[in-house]
Amino acid sequence: MQIHGRDVNFRRTVLGNCEIAEICPKKDINKLGDVFTKSDYATAQRAGAKFMVAMSKGYEMTKHYSDSEYVMRPLTEEEVLLLDSDEFNDLFMEAMNAFIADGKTTVQTEAAPSKNADGGGE
C-alpha cells in the first residue's frame, strides 16, 4: 500500500512479536485481539499504530539485512495516526493479514523410508 508516497510492506519477525506483545494484556501476544476489541477507541487506535509500526519495521529491517544498500524507512506512529480512518483501517488490515500469514506454521517433511529399502520383496 502507498503511504505518504512510498510503498509500505509488513513482515512478522521475532523482534516485531516482542514489540507487539508489549501492547497486549499481560504482554501475551495471544491476547492481541483483546487490545482491539476490548479497549476504548483511543487505546485501540494507538495500539493499532504500534502494531503497524512493528510490522513495518520487521519488513524494513529484514530487507536491509538482506541488501545492505537498502535504506530503511519504516512507518512511524505519528504518520500512521495522521492517516484518515479509511487509510488507517486499510493499512491495519494489510498488517494483520501479514501477521497471520507469517505466523502460520509450516513443516517440511520427507517421505518415510519404505520398510524394504533394498527394493526387494518381503
DSSP string, the chain: -EETTEE------HHHHHHHHTTSGGG-GGGHHHHHHSS-HHHHHHHHHHHHHHHHHHHHHHHHHH-TTPPP----HHHHHTS-HHHHHHHHHHHHHHHHHHH-------PPPPS-TTS---
46 belongs to a structural domain: yes
Say what the pLDDT of residue 108 is. 58
Q: Is the pTM of this model over 0.85?
A: no
Helix H or strand E segment including 3: strand 2-3
The better pLDDT of the pair 74, 120 is held by 74
Q: Which range of residues forms the domain containing residue 64? A: 2-102
Number of domains forming the structure of the chain: 1
117 belongs to a structural domain: no
Say what the pLDDT of residue 72 is. 96
53 belongs to a structural domain: yes
115 belongs to a structural domain: no
Q: How confident is the model at residue 103 (pLDDT cuts 50, 70, 90)?
A: confident
Say what the pLDDT of residue 109 is. 57
109 belongs to a structural domain: no
75 belongs to a structural domain: yes
114 belongs to a structural domain: no
107 belongs to a structural domain: no
46-56 per-position pLDDT tens digit: 999 999 999 99
20-60 per-position pLDDT tens digit: 999 999 999 999 999 999 999 999 999 999 999 999 999 99
